[in-house]
Structure 1
Amino acid sequence: MENAKSKIKLGIYGIGLLMMGVIGISSSLSTIGAKFPEASQTMIQNLISIPCIVIIPTTIVVGKLMQTISKKNIALAGIIIFLIGGSAPAFMTSFTTILVMRGILGVGIGICQVVSTAIVADNFSGVEQQKVQGTLQASQMAGAAIMVFAGGWLTEVRWNYVFFVHLLAIISLILVAVMVPNTKPEKMTTTGDVQKTKLTSATWGWVIFMFILFISVQVYSISLSFLVTEKNLGTAADSGLGLAFFAIGGIIMGLLYGSLAKRTKNCAIAVGCLMLAVAYVVIAFAGSMIVCHIGSILVGMAVSAALPGIFINTGMSVDGFSAGMAISVVTCAQNFGQFCCPYIINPISASISGGRSVNFMCFIIGAVVAAALTILMLVWGVKKNRQVI
């Protein structure tokens, strides 16, 4: 039994490697922008935003599919789609066609994001679930670290080589095929009635929170490369290293999440939001890549501190049958926030920059949003902790 659980964990972590595939090319945005001078900065940022918007309907569809199709088969399909959509742009020169393939990549990522967390909810509970969810977050960051670090260096060789970072999916494909059991979902209750999905008001609260949080989080992915170039702090490879430090911070916190949750209980999400606010201030005023890297580590730790608690509480807000769909909807909100970020943050930053860098103001606004969420989740967490006592 324990050996079977260990194998399932490896399969879950294999899927996790791809969950942040959206930002795999983030370190190379400015270089890609130079290759397509006719495209605006916002249009170049659509290489990140398009997958996010495609993920939104994908997560809802996957939530329904998981009620009738085994999660293993869904995961395998998602990984193959990720592999095709992610790697194909390396052979293309049309920006429009590349955007289309990025949309296909988004389908694969959307499947991976939902099915991985759903498999965790199906197979683990209590303290073990917290540990597995934290380690899933760590594997997610490890995948991001590999992709953004390799992507920065590949871009230095040739701009389109960055898309080859998505070949990481081959490892995930093998792990899922070998480690995850092909278990079909049960659609009937013990009385023989067909179960129906029921989302609660608490679930919708997490949906709204996740949306706002990831408007803030996405500032890092879409603005770091431009800020580094604008301030002459480094090259695309240096930005890639910064994003790798982000992932390293996430790995560290993911592995430590069990201890953090044990000490802070329901305040772990507030800790993550606070770290994000501090990190953005550090990056905004950074005068060197070293300081940027410190901020990047903090951003990664912040995301890994906040996400597990959000998904665990989302799963707990509904019955077991509805958990998959609840996780899908919250994941949908996460990606909708990422998509909306440049269309909300960029205009606001431009209107209040007052002669300062727009990218600088993006990080300042992101810090303010994160600080507000810190207060909200601290009040919620303290209240919940008192109820437990």
Structure 2
Amino acid sequence: MNIKSEKLRNGMLMLTLILVTIALMADMVIIPVAENLFSEFGDANVAILNFILTGPALIGAFSGLAFGKLMQYISKKKLLIIAFAIFSIGAILGFAVHNAYFMAAMRVLVGIGMGSLGVISMAIIADIFNDESKRSSMLGIFNGGMAAVGAAIGWISGFVATLGWSMVFRIYLVAIPILIMIFLFVPADETVPVKENKDDVDGSVDEKMPWTKVIALGVAFLIFSSVYCIAFYQISMIVTEKAIGDVTFIGTISALGTVGSFVACFLFGKTYGFFKRSTPIVAYTVMALSFCMLYFSSSSIIAAIACTLLGAMYGMGMSYYFMHCTMIVPESRIPMSIGFTSFCMSIGTFLSVYIATFLQSVMGVTTITEIMPVLITTLAVGAVLSAVFTIKDRKTGLVNSPEHEMSE
């Protein structure tokens, strides 16, 4: 096989999959005009308006799980085309009719694409790149590219919104050439039926799903995502509570978090090659220290550094969990494992604001800063448990034990 041709094909494949993440970052187009949306449909039910903003994330959690299962029966390329077409229809036609209920219906389609496309894309990467080192590098590049796409469309949306808030929906027209790229650059694949029981048809693969490991890993990722997203979604409150900056500063440190995540994801291949199974120890520890910086300091510079590190550690942790979930299951079960891991991430993200409110209620406090000791303790416990079971695995030679997965 011609090495240059293979590199070109893989390069175009990765570019296409990175561009597909416009669906995963679709909310970056809507967020800058959220206030305009509420004003435009002021007479609509508030629940409908809230669903327009956050509903796709919840829909996406379940669509990712469903498409993870479908990949056992339908080729990944076909599902990628179907899912991206569904997203494109919902996104482009989002404001085709001046009606909040119509927009909510279109956002359901966006949510289906948002949840499924990341799962399918990562399954394709896992299929193409079998080597652990190469796979970790490509998954890191994919996640880093997603962060870059999110930052880009967020900036573009802010500019386009000055021409009229509904104009932002035209940004989604870029989905049309991306759909064409999927047809051209994503290789066709075949499905191998998975044998669920001894009565299944011949030719299927008899491989059991190690649910104990997968669920433990997913729960750990859910907790990790929840803790991070408390700061991510409510950084404006933290800045206000500590009186360290204005709206411009909030935007700046939010962008720094995205930059940190972008860099960490792109470098994940190298960091994973160095830390291997100890990667979560680093992510938990540095994230805990970053929260300590936010908690104890009232310096804007320290806050900027902390937010950059938080974004970087989340990028590292996210890349690790999606990488590791492909290594602890048989090859035929990788799509389902990725789907479940994505589901856990989405649920953790969705629950983060509710967890913060619950902690405030239990502790009898009113600020995010005051619940940080609980977040720091949670991360510290995760780091210690991860270290303990990593050492145990090295001593006993056990690989991927359930306890190890729970700690990670």
TM-score when normalising by structure 1: 0.82
| 1:176-231 residue CA offsets vs partner (Å, 9 max, x unmatched) | 23211122223378x93323663211111112112212222322443235555775
Structure with larger Rg: 2
**Partner in structure 2 of residue 380 of structure 1:** 389
Structure-2 residue corresponding to 1:150? 156
Q: Are 2:246 and 1:234 aligned?
A: yes
| Cα pair distance change 1:287/1:103, threshold 3 Å | farther
Q: What is the letter of the counterpart of residue 70 of structure 2?
A: L
Taking the aligned partners of 1:54 and 1:248, their CA distance within structure 2 comes to 27
CA distance, structure 1, for counterparts of residue 176 and residue 249 of structure 2: 27
- Once the two structures are TM-superposed, the CA of residue 328 in structure 1 deviates from its matched residue by 0.8
2:113 maps to: 108
Report the Cα distance in structure 1 between the residues aligned to 2:170 and 2:234, rounded to whole angstroms.
Answer: 22
Pick closer, same or farther for the CA change 1:213–1:178 going to 2, 3 Å: same
Q: 1:320 to 1:165 in 2, by over 3 A?
A: same
Mapped partners of 1:294, 1:250: distance in 2? 13
In the alignment, is the contact (CA less than 8 A) between 1:210 and 1:330 conserved in 2?
A: yes
Name which of 136, 139, 158 aligns with 2:142: 136
**Residue type matched to 2:381 in 1?**
A
Where does 1:234-383 land on structure 2 (aligned, <5 Å)? Answer: 234-235=246-247, 239-283=250-294, 292-352=303-363, 354=365, 356-357=366-367, 359-361=368-370, 365-383=374-392
**Distance in 2, Cα, partners of 1:9 & 1:92:** 35
Q: Structure 2 vs 1, CA of residues 345 and 188 (structure 1 numbering), >3 Å: closer, same or farther? A: closer
Distance in 2, matches of 1:311 and 1:87, equals 30
Alpha carbons 2:72, 2:192 under 8 Å: kept: yes
Q: Against the structure 1 CA distance between its residues 341 and 63, is the aligned structure 2 distance closer, same or farther, given a 3 Å change threshold?
A: same
CA RMSD of aligned residues (A): 3.7
Q: Which amino acid aligns with 1:252?
A: V
Give, in angstroms, the shift of residue 59 of structure 1: 1.5
* C-alpha spacing 1:173/1:300, structure 2 compared with 1 (3 Å): farther
Superposed, 1:44-83 pairs within 5 Å as 49-83=54-88
Match of 2:203?
193
Q: Distance in 2 between matches of 1:205 and 1:325?
A: 15
Q: Does the CA-based 8 Å contact 2:244-2:298 persist in structure 1?
A: no
Shift of 1:322: 0.9
Q: Is the deviation greater in 124-133 or in 140-149? A: 140-149
Deviation at 1:123, TM superposition (A): 1.1
2:215 aligned residue:
204
Aligned to 1:316, what secondary structure does the other structure show?
coil
Instruction: String of CA shifts for 1:312-347, please: whole Å, max 9, x gaps.
Output: 221122111111111111111111112222222223
Aligned-residue sequence identity (percent) comes to 21
Once the two structures are superposed, residues 73-123 of structure 1 have per-residue CA deviations (whole angstroms, 9 ceiling, x without a partner) of: 211222233333345445676555544433322111111111111011111
Where does structure 1 lack aligned partners over 5 or more consecutive residues?
none
